[in-house]
Structure formats: structure tokens, C-alpha cells
Amino acid sequence: MPTRTRPERLAVVHNGIIENFRELRLEMEAAAAPSRRTPIPRSIAHLVTVNLAAGMSPKEAVQAVSAA
């Protein structure tokens, strides 16, 4: 099942283990993202949305999060 942002502008679907979850959690905290209880897929969706709002292309936005 996809994880969606609110408003439903972006969905994240993954199949497997997110190996860089610790780095993503730190990036979320630095970006004042939702709380630590937020599931990692929702956090990824949030960070990609933040990158899109900053003017990145969709490809750049995803690559910036996956490089964390």
C-alpha cells in the first residue's frame, strides 16, 4: 500500500528494507519534519515534497533523499 503525503500530492511505495533509515531520521529532524513516530515511508514522502517545494525536479528531489 502506498504512503501518501497530505494533501495527496506524492505517494511512496517501497518493497523491502530501507537501509538508510537512520540518516533519513536525522535529515527529517533537521528539516523540522513530523515527529519521530512518523513511519519512514511517510518521512521520505515529506522530504521529497520539501525538496520539490525548494525547486528541485522530481528526479533531483528523490535522489537528494536517497543520498541521505
In this structure, is residue 56 part of a structural domain? yes
Name the residue with higher pLDDT: 28 or 50: 50
Residue 10 belongs to some domain of the structure: no
| Residue 12 included in any domain | no
In a domain, 31, yes or no: yes
For the beta carbon of residue 67, count every other beta carbon within 10 angstroms. 9
For 38-52, the pLDDT digits (tens) are 677 777 888 888 888
Higher pLDDT, 46 or 67: 46
Total number of domains in the chain: 1
32 within domain boundaries: yes
Backbone φ, ψ for residue 17 (5° rounding): -100, 135
C-alpha cell recorded at residue 43: 518521512
- Is residue 5 in some structural domain? no
